[in-house]
Amino acid sequence: MILYLDTSTLFKLYVDEAGSDAVHAAVADAETVAVCRIAWAEAMSALARRGREVPADQEALDLARQALSKDWPAFLIMEVTQALVEQAGDFADTFGLRGYDSVQLAAAHLLQRQGQRPVTFACFDKRLSKAAKVLGLTELADVPG
């Protein structure tokens, strides 16, 4: 099984918060973990924002950055292409998604269409989760949308 992580879910691998245990378990069970190339920038932005909001967490956040850097080469990276962003634009309109959420969905949908193995989509956003379900992506059961 391929486990596709949107950025909110990827973040939970590196910062302990609600849902982190379920994400760790799912990653341990996955044959492959996939992310979109934009998840790097989004995750680094989220770590920086957390550091500004909770300065006492800075040491842990530095460790999280190091761990993400170490793990990144092991992920299956979905590249952002013109075709992908055009599909994302359609999804943004159809499902009322924010820009990068629609890119995440388009990347997971493309991975599913490539059909090598089943794709399980993990996110922590109700609208994105609902859109993924409409597109036939399997959702991670223990991760609330």
For each of the domains in the chain, give its residue range(s) and CATH number, in order of start: 2-139 (3.40.50.1010)
pLDDT category of residue 141 using cuts at 50, 70 and 90 = low
Radius of gyration of the chain (CA): 15
Q: Tell me the two tokens of residue 105.
A: 């969905």
The mean pLDDT value of the chain amounts to 94
Residue environment code for 6-39, b if the CB has 16+ CB neighbours within 10 A, otherwise e: bbbbbbbbbbeeebeebbeebbeebeebbbbebb
Q: Which tens digits make up the pLDDT trace of 81-132?
A: 999 999 999 999 999 999 999 999 999 999 999 987 889 999 999 999 999 9
Q: What's the predicted TM-score (pTM) here?
A: 0.93
